[in-house]
Amino acid sequence: MKNEKRREFIKQLGLVAGSTALLPSLLSFDSIINTYKKEGSQKKINVALCGLGRYAKILAKGLEQTKQCKLTGLVTGTPEKEITWGQKYNIPKKNIYNYDNFDSIIDNKDIDLVYVVLPNSMHKEFTIRAANAGKHVIVEKPMGLNALECVEMIDACKKNGVQLAVGYRLHYEPHHKEIKRMGQEKVFGNIRYIDASLGYRIKGWKKDAWHLKKAMSGGGPLTNIGIYCVQSNRYILGEEPIAVTAQFGPVQRPDYFKEVEESITWQLEFPSGAVTTSASSYSYNVDRLYASGDDGFFELEPALSYGPFKGKSSLGTFNFPVINQQQVQLDEISKCILNKEPLPMHIRGEEGHKDMLVIDAIYKSAATGKKVVI
């Protein structure tokens, strides 16, 4: 019976069977068995989603496809979601928390990482609480309400010996990896000009939505989606901007936009002499990126949303696969943690801090009408 099982296993592995001369020795066979079992039961990072709103649903779908991590916990301030999400994703009650009892997660060995997907004003609090509980953290962008909050979050994670990542999904997307390479490797010489803009006309939002409350969001479209424009400018050039001028757009729907901007445009200056112009809005649709160098160009449209992206350069049309952006991001971050390796700098909390330094300066310029040195 034992030999029959071995022969069947070898057959499943695609090895040649039928001749005892080709069967591995008992020692080598046991080695294959152990390797197979090890790969089949590879440890994964156990993830708790903290905040179960719209984007958490997208992340949950991504988690269903991941290989390096899995959804094992939930954190929500809505009792009904404890039941519906718990049943849908088969999460045991002991792994479901609310905002009051969250700190007891410190005793839960079933959770390694907390992904903070809460309103922006809650990012700092729950990042620090998760870090104090010894859990690694991914926090959605914008990392905090301002650059100072980001520093506090980074310090808390360092103090507790946990890793802190920001949910920059585009860092692992093939089109964006390519435009980053083209810009930083100067495939078309020095990049002189970039136009990166993202906006959409909001429809069906409740007028008390948290995105429209400055205390909860920190701002309007700039903090929510304009941050992708700031990001792309920085990673294409591989530089940090040194100055900005910015302008608020007209308020066309004052019943919605009483506290945050409806639209905003800004221009960044970089040490190399490159300039960028961007716009972000909740009143019109735009989703494009164009970069011009000494010897050519590249562009994407759609460019900064969830895709699927399309693009080309002076060398021809891009032909990259469509990926699940959340799945790849989660797997790559989890892989680093599993291997006990530091996260790459482009995804760490320090990257989120750099974005917020720029966003703080954009708002200051738009409010004062003056150029602001960053």
Active site residues: 141, 228
Query: Exposed e or buried b for every residue in 278-296, given b needs 16+ CB within 10 A?
Result: bbbbbbeebbebbbbbeee
Q: How many C-beta atoms lie closer than 10 Å to residue 213's C-beta? A: 15
**Residues 137, 133: Cα–Cα separation, whole Å:** 11
**Residues 353, 294: Cα–Cα separation, whole Å:** 31
Closest CA to 59 of 140, 147, 157, 146: 140
Helix locations, the chain, DSSP H: 2-13, 26-40, 54-65, 79-88, 123-132, 147-159, 174-184, 214-217, 221, 227-237, 325-338, 349-368
Contact 240, 374 (CB under 8 A): yes
User: Cα–Cα distances in Å, from 200 out to 105, 182, 338?
Assistant: 38, 28, 38
Which residue type does 77 have? G
**Residues 197, 233: Cα–Cα separation, whole Å:** 10
Radius of gyration of the chain measured on its C-alpha atoms = 24
List, as one string, the DSSP characters of 173-187. -HHHHHHHHHHHTTB
Burial of 357 (C-beta count, 10 Å sphere; 0-12/13-18/19+): middle
Contact 174, 320 (CB under 8 A): yes
User: Residue 207: CA atoms inside 13 Å, Cβ hemisphere, count?
Assistant: 6
The C-alpha angle with vertex 255 and arms to 253 and 260, in degrees rounded to 5, equals 75
List, as one string, the DSSP characters of 313-353. ETTEE-------HHHHHHHHHHHHHHTT-PPPGGGBHHHHH
